[in-house]
A and B are shown apart, each in its own frame.
Chain A
Amino acid sequence: MMFIRSFVFFAGVLATLALGWVGIVGVPDIMIGTLQPAPELKRYTQEQLFGRDIYIREGCLYCHSQQVRAEGYGADQGRFWGRPSVPADYVYDAPHLLGTMRTGPDLFNIAVRQPSEAWHLLHLYNPRLVADGSLMPPFPWLFVEKETPGPGEQPLALPDSVAPKGKVVVPSEEARALVAYLLGLDHTYPVSQVPTLHDTTRTQK
């Protein structure tokens, strides 16, 4: 009797966990696994993958999402953050970077909204140089202070108030890779909508 009770208990405990796993992870994953990405979705370059690692390393995902909600749900469409994202947009992403916070804006199509490399570099060096009131941390360790820029290096156009005396600031390989990753975030290509795979919580016209 004691043994049967224990068996039922542990079998029940394992079954409840397994059911949830299959139900909300396994089945959706199998459904999504057969999706083909749009031909316009490019694989990340080596530099972009390196930049993506910097994005993870510095914890960008704690303040920026990479998912766009549908018309009628939130104001993602009203803010022109791009068409609603679909599962096939993410097939090359591991780890995923969907994010859960928008302390800063969504970045899924940041390359379209802000295509300037110079802007991104200044913004990373100190966000408040280009975005007054921003809460984003500065990332000066992604840059190098030098007497003179090396061949092919473009120093940041810093205002005198923040520029180091007698030196120039040039982006490191890491800063350039991170910007290359951000400038690759463009998911505005058309997709054939698959309504059952796409969260349209209100009626979609």
Chain B
Amino acid sequence: MSRTLVESKRPEAGADQRVADELLRIAIDASSASPTVLFLASGIFWLLVGSLMGAAASLKFNLPDWLGGYGPLTFGRLRPIHLNTVTYGWISLAGSGMIVWLTGRLCRVEIRWPGLLYASAILWNIGLFLGSLLVLAGYNAGMEWLEFPLPAAAVIAVAFLLFAASIYRTFAARQVEHVYVSLWYILASMTWFPVLYVIANSGLYQGVGEAAMNWWYGHNAIAVWFTPIGLAGAYYFIPKVIGRPIYSYYLGLLGFWSFALFYNWNGLHHLVGGPLPTWAISVSIVASLMMFVPVLAVAVNHHMTALGHLSIVKYSPTLRFVVFGAMSYTAVSFQGSLEATRSVQEVAHFTHYTVGHAHMGMYAFVTMVLFGAIYYILPRIAKWEWPYPTLIKVHFWLSAVGIVVYFLALTVGGWLQGLAMNTPSVPFIDTVELTKPYLWARTVGGILMTVGHVLFAYHFSLVVYRAGPIRFAPAWFRKAEEVAVE
């Protein structure tokens, strides 16, 4: 057991080769260290901003007159800033940090064009500040997921292209024969997302056509950027920590191409019952159900890899977060496929149920994978272990309990809201009234997560500044001796 927790270093190779491997790994990590820390730190900054915005917006449901006298703090401005800062800020930037590090490791080559990465991180942050301030000042561009006005969106698009250029260049210089699954998702997202983002911000449509574009974009941003981040992380860290190769290359291949084929057609399930051609919505519903194929392929692949080794979640913070995320991916995808059907949409559409589902995907899946990834990557590039394993444990439970409370509250409350709304004899205000206790529970869940994020940010800064007790072994939840004897 103890051996599997140590990184396996090609035991079949000779001693000289292992030393050469180690030196190469050190050189690669040294090349990715600074840009990775810059992206991760920026991501965590936006996680804090976004969490505060989310918690405040949630509290406004409970106390609608709280901070009600001042325009920039109204719910309708805080909510889009929450969404944009956690997705284009936290997940995008922390995900980019993970991608830089992974690309170096998986291509077995030092990062190329790091200057573009610094420029990208700086521009990206500028875009986020600009966009958030503009929305705060009242210049919301008007579509969900696309609230940032054109100047801010343009800055973010340029930042993404600079980032992609460095990743492409590093990939082109790769020193490996085999391109690992995580890299497929990374490279695909580098191609997909900029095209998608530019089309969506170019104002090609109006009326109902624009609504179709809006939800094609909204769901595709998840499909071609946020989900690939989560999957690239899960595909890398589960086998890595366990010390076994991925169960099946062919399942990975099937999972990737069926993902690419079906996910791109999902968007219109956000408009079920809306004024669009019925066939187009039906196509999206069918494509949503077809998502069972890639999701099952990924789920089986990850599960079979971890089979018999899952007890490592008791020791490894990375594996605990990533396995939580991977299991959430399966769960939220199954839910999403069924949620897209007309009979479920009849109740769930227009209610808080959908909000619960969205947080399950973006938080319980992608965010938890990113936390796990950061717990793995940061000590290796900062050359400093996490000082307080207990703090990691507290962070895990605050996040896990927080999102479960959040999800259950909105799922139950939202469903009841939908049932009441579909009963014409129930006055509309009663559909509002019945959600109130659930919206309080949602606030509690959100605050738990936010507290976890503050602790995580503090812990992250300790490692970056090399503060706290010195450790010579990984920061596991239990001591190495305990691991060895079990």
Residues of A within 8 A of B (CB): 9-10, 12-14, 16-17, 19-21, 23-25, 27-29, 31-33, 56-63, 65, 67, 69-70, 73-75, 78-79, 84-87, 89-105, 126-128, 131-141, 196-201
- 17 A–B contacts from the bound complex (CB under 8 Å): A16-B261, A17-B196, A17-B220, A58-B71, A59-B140, A61-B144, A90-B275, A94-B206, A96-B211, A100-B270, A101-B351, A131-B429, A133-B433, A134-B64, A139-B71, A196-B279, A199-B273
- On whether the beta carbons of B209 and A74 are closer than 8 Å, the reply is no
Q: Which of chain A's residues has its CB closest to B423's CB?
A: A75
Q: For the complex, give the distance between the alpha carbons of A182 and B191 in Å.
A: 42
Query: Is there an interface contact between B184 and A92, defined as CB atoms closer than 8 Å?
Result: no
Q: How far apart are A164's CB and chain B's nearest CB, in angstroms?
A: 12
Does B21 sit at the interface, judged by CB under 8 A? Answer: no
Is the pair A196, B278 in contact by a Cβ cutoff of 8 Å?
yes
B141 to chain A minimum Cβ distance, whole angstroms, is: 7
| Distance, CA A90 to CA B205, complexed state (A) | 12
In the complex, chain B residues 172-203 whose Cβ is within 8 Å of any chain A Cβ: 184, 187-188, 191-192, 195-196, 199, 203
Residue of B nearest to A56 (CB): B142
Decide if the interface of chain B is mainly helix, strand, loop or mixed.
helix
B422 beta carbon closer than 8 Å to chain A: yes
Please tell me if the beta carbons of A138 and B64 are within 8 angstroms of each other in the complex. yes
Stretch at the interface among B150-158, B280-288, B316-324, B385-393: B280-288
Cα A100 to Cα B270 in complex, Å, equals 8
Q: Is the interface of A mostly helix, strand, loop or mixed?
A: loop
In contact, A93 and B74 (Cβ under 8 angstroms): no
Which of B212, B279, B424 touches A75 (beta carbons < 8 Å)?
A: B424
Contact between A87 and B275, CB atoms less than 8 A apart = yes
Is the pair A137, B260 in contact by a Cβ cutoff of 8 Å?
Answer: no
The residue from A16, A73, A101 contacting B264, defined by CB atoms under 8 A apart: A16
Most buried by B among A73, A98, A198: A98
Residue picked from B71, B272, B350, B352, most chain A C-beta under 10 Å: B350
B61 at interface, CB cutoff 8 A:
yes
Residue pair B351, A137 in contact (C-beta under 8 Å)? no
Smallest Cβ-Cβ distance to B424: which chain A residue: A78
> B432 at interface (Cβ–Cβ under 8 A)?
yes
When chains A and B are docked, how far (Å) is the Cα of A57 from the Cα of B206?
Answer: 19
Report which residue of A24, A84, A101, A197 has the largest number of chain B beta carbons within 10 angstroms of its beta carbon: A24
Whether A74 contacts B346 by the Cβ 8 Å rule is yes
Which of B69, B203, B205 meets A29, CB within 8 Å?
B205
- Assembled-state Cα–Cα distance A96/B209 (Å): 9
Given A32-B207, A74-B422, the answer on whether A69 and B74 have CB atoms closer than 8 Å is: no
Q: B residues within 8 A CB of A138?
A: 64-65, 68-69
> By the criterion CB–CB under 8 Å, are B257 and A12 in contact?
yes
Q: B460 interface residue, CB < 8 Å from A?
A: no
Most chain A beta-carbon contacts within 10 A, residue among B144, B280, B352: B280
In the bound complex, residues from chain B placing their C-beta under 8 Å from that of A75 are: 421-424
Chain A residues whose CB sits within 8 angstroms of the CB of B49 once the complex forms: none
A67, B270: Cα distance in complex, Å: 13
CB proximity to A under 8 Å, residues B28-68 = 60-61, 64-65, 68
**Cβ–Cβ contact A87 & B273, under 8 A:** no
Chain A residue numbers with a CB within 8 Å of B80 are 59, 62
Q: Are A141 and B79 in contact (CB under 8 A)?
A: no
Contact indicator B212/A29 (Cβ below 8 Å): yes
Residue pair A141, B142 in contact (C-beta under 8 Å): no
- Cα A136 to Cα B65 in complex, Å, equals 9
Contact between B350 and A98, CB atoms less than 8 A apart = no
On whether the beta carbons of A24 and B268 are closer than 8 Å, the reply is yes
Which B residues are CB-close (under 8 A) to A12? 257, 260
- Partner of B211 from the list A9, A73, A98 (CB cut-off 8 Å) is A98
Q: How far is the CA of A134 from the CA of B65 in the complex (A)?
A: 11
Contact A103 B261 (CB under 8 A): no
Contact of B143 among A23, A25, A96 (CB under 8 A): A96
A32/B260 in contact, CB under 8 A: no
Given A28-B280, A58-B74, also A135-B432 (CB < 8 A): yes
Question: Please, which residue of chain B has its CB at the minimum distance from the CB of A95?
Answer: B142
In the bound complex, CA of A134 to CA of B224 (Å): 38
Other 4 A-B pairs with CB < 8 A, given A137-B60, A197-B277: A9-B184, A25-B209, A59-B79, A59-B140
Q: Enumerate chain A residues within 8 angstroms of B271, measured Cβ to Cβ.
A: 98
Residue B138 lies at the interface, judged by CB distance under 8 Å to chain A: yes
Q: Which residues of B contact A199 (CB under 8 A)?
A: 272-276, 278, 281
